[in-house]
Structure 1
């Protein structure tokens, strides 16, 4: 289990670096779009396609990073009043639910795979470039949830819970 935790740690760090680079490219692209529209009265052809693609990938890559580090948005009002044993049970229920969700998403993607032949109008980016992004989120997220269930507490908890 320690090897899986180490592997998922490397995946998380890689996803973070990729997301940072994509975010930088997104900000620079939108800045260029705004400047060109203001100065020349014309934008960049296909910028909406690229923006949508980059945002899709940032969201799914960072979803795993945040899940692994327990920095994702959670509502903890009920869990905060529970004792340690009840919290542990809630965490296991959450982990099993995450695994079930991951399996469901993969099955749904498999079911629609044959219909993903569409392409964007300007750059002809295949629809699969958008639809495969959840795989990169949910596969490691499911593995992390399994690790949480059966591997004990291998990953450090954040110093402060940022629940709502």
Structure 2
């Protein structure tokens, strides 16, 4: 599981880095052209907008893999393991439902915009919805796998509390006198 997660995370991070590099170069080049030569490249704004959408949703997928979301677990930590498991399953089932709703709505919106082209790049507007669809598919798999792990009894107390490894170390340091 960790190798699959690391492989996917590495690929996602590489695509994010490439998108950021292209955004940096194109925007910097456009700024230099505007100030130095009073001209510019018209497609840089639209390309940067498209790449930014990709960066946001691929970054959300990376955060999901790293369990880097924000959460308050004060009440969860006071519960017994069985109650933690019930809350964990309920939360993941709700996230599955929400992910399905976003996926189905985004899919419909992508179908509607399939024939609409962007003004400058001339590509389909559906490219703006593709990273959302990819993220929702990843999240559906992630939350399904989390529920499955609870049902087969392969989930740790730290996962039930929603803590990552760095948070565990911080919590242990705070508990020491």
Q: TM-score, normalised by structure 1?
A: 0.81
Q: Which moved more, 1:32-41 or 1:80-89?
A: 80-89
Spell out structure 1 runs of 4+ moving beyond 4 A. Answer: none
Aligned-residue Cα RMSD (Å) equals 2.5
CA contact (8 A) 1:92 1:149 kept: yes
Instruction: Report deviation, 1:140.
Output: 1.0
Pairing 1:50–2:57 present: no
Q: Which has the larger radius of gyration?
A: 2
Tell me the secondary structure at the aligned position of residue 159 of structure 1: helix
Aligned length: 156
> What's the offset of the Cα at 1:87?
4.5
Q: Which structure has the highest helix share of the two? A: 2
**Structure 1 residue aligned with 2:164:** 157
Alignment gaps of 5+ in structure 2 = 171-177
Q: Which has the higher contact order (CA 8 A, sep 6+)?
A: 1
Provide the residue aligned with 2:137 in structure 1: 139
Q: TM-score, normalised by structure 2?
A: 0.76
Q: Does 1:108 align with 2:102?
A: no
- In structure 1, runs of 5+ residues without a counterpart are none
